[in-house]
Structure 1
C-alpha cells in the first residue's frame, strides 16, 4: 500500500517538479549547454541555493523522472515474493513498476517522454544520461544477483542486466516517439511488445 506523503513532503515534491519542468522548458528551447542554473531557478521561481538543495547540476533536473522509475523498480524487486527470479519474472516486475509510475501521476511519464526526446538531439544531456545509466547498472547488478539467487555477480547476471537494460531503453524510446497521450496501458503495452520482439530476435 502506498503511503500518502505529508504536507511538507508534498511541497518538496511540488518544488522539485516545478524546477524539473522549468529546466525541461529551457532545454527544449535553447539546449542544455546554453542554459544556466540561474535561468532555471528564475523560471521556477526559486533561488539558486534552493535549486542546489534539490539538484547537484542542471543536467540532474532531466534525470529526476528516471530516478523515480528506478525507485519504483527497486520497491517492486524488494516486494517480489518469488525467488529466484528469471528473465520473464523480472520483465513482469518492470511492467508493474511502469504501471506504478502511471498510478502515481502522468506528470512523471510526461517528463520521461520529454527527456527521451531531448536525449536524441542534446549531446550534453545524452552524456549526462549515459553517466547516470552506468551508475544505475552498477546499482542493479547487486539487486539482480539477489533476485536471481546468485551470491556473486557472474556472467549470467551481467547478461541478464544488459538484456533488461537494452529492452527497457528501446521500449522507452519507442513509447516516447509516439505522440499519443501518456498512459499506463500504452507504456506497459509498448514494453510488453518490445519484450515479445526480443523473443523473436533471439529465436531467429
Structure 2
C-alpha cells in the first residue's frame, strides 16, 4: 500500500491534533463541560474545520485516527497473507499487533480515552461500531485460514468474538493498572491463556 501524499498526511495530522485535544480537554473537564468550539480553539482551527473531520464532539473523543476504516481493512489483508504455519489465533494477534503497539506507545492518551468511554456509556456503542464493517471480512478470512464455512461452522465467529474479548479484557486491566504493565504483555498473556483453553490457573 502506497504512502499517503502531503495533502493526505496533513489531513491525518489535523485529525490527530483534534482527537488528542478532545481527549485531553474532556479528560480534564468532563464530556458535558467541553464544546466543539473549545476543542477547535485549543487545536488552533475553526469550528467549521472541526466539522470537516468529525460529525460530533463525541466522535472526536472516540475516533483516534481518520483512517480507522482503512486500518481495519489492512488488518484483514494482513490476516489473509500471514504464513499458514501460524495458528489462526496467532495470525489474528499478528494482524493487529502494530495498532496495539501504537496504543501502548500513546499510553496517556489511550488511558484517558478508555476512562472517558467507560464514564460515558453512550460512547461505548459508538466505539464498538467503528470496526463493524470489518467483522464479516475478518470472519471470512478466519474461515479461509481454518478451512471452515462461516455459514455452517461456529468456529470463525466464535474465534473472533473470543479474541475481541481477550483484547478488551487486556485493555480494561491495563487501564485499571494505570498502564504500569506494557499493554502488549497483557495481550500476549490473554491470548496465550485463550489458546490454552482457559484452564484454571495453577
Q: TM-score scaled to structure 2, two decimals? A: 0.76
Q: Distance in 2 between matches of 1:138 and 1:77?
A: 11
Please list every run of 5 or more consecutive structure 2 residues that lacks an aligned counterpart in the other structure: none
Structure 1 contact 145–152 (Cα < 8 Å) conserved: yes
CA drift at 1:69 = 6.7
Q: Distance in 2 between matches of 1:96 and 1:29?
A: 29
TM-superposition CA deviations, 1:43-101 (whole Å, max 9, x none): 212111100101111111122237767644531330342469622331332334424x3
Cα 1:160–1:90 shift into 2, 3 Å: same
Look up the match of 1:7: 6
What is the number of residues matched between the two proteins?
Answer: 193
CA contact (8 A) 2:61 2:113 kept: yes
Q: Aligned ranges for residues 1-204 of structure 1 at < 5 Å?
A: 3-65=2-64, 71-80=70-79, 81=81, 82=83, 86-99=88-101, 101=102, 106-107=105-106, 109-120=107-118, 122-123=119-120, 126-134=121-129, 136-137=131-132, 139-149=134-144, 150=148, 152-153=150-151, 154-179=153-178, 186-199=182-195, 202-204=198-200
Identify if the C-alpha distance between structure 1 residues 110 and 139 changes in structure 2 by more than 3 Å, giving closer, same or farther: same
| Aligned-residue RMSD, C-alpha | 3.2
| Distance in 1, Cα, partners of 2:40 & 2:123 | 20
Judge conservation of contact 1:167–1:194 (CA < 8 Å) in 2: yes
Contact 1:76/1:96, CA 8 A, preserved across alignment: no
5+ residue gaps in structure 1? Answer: none
Deviation at 1:27, TM superposition (A): 0.8
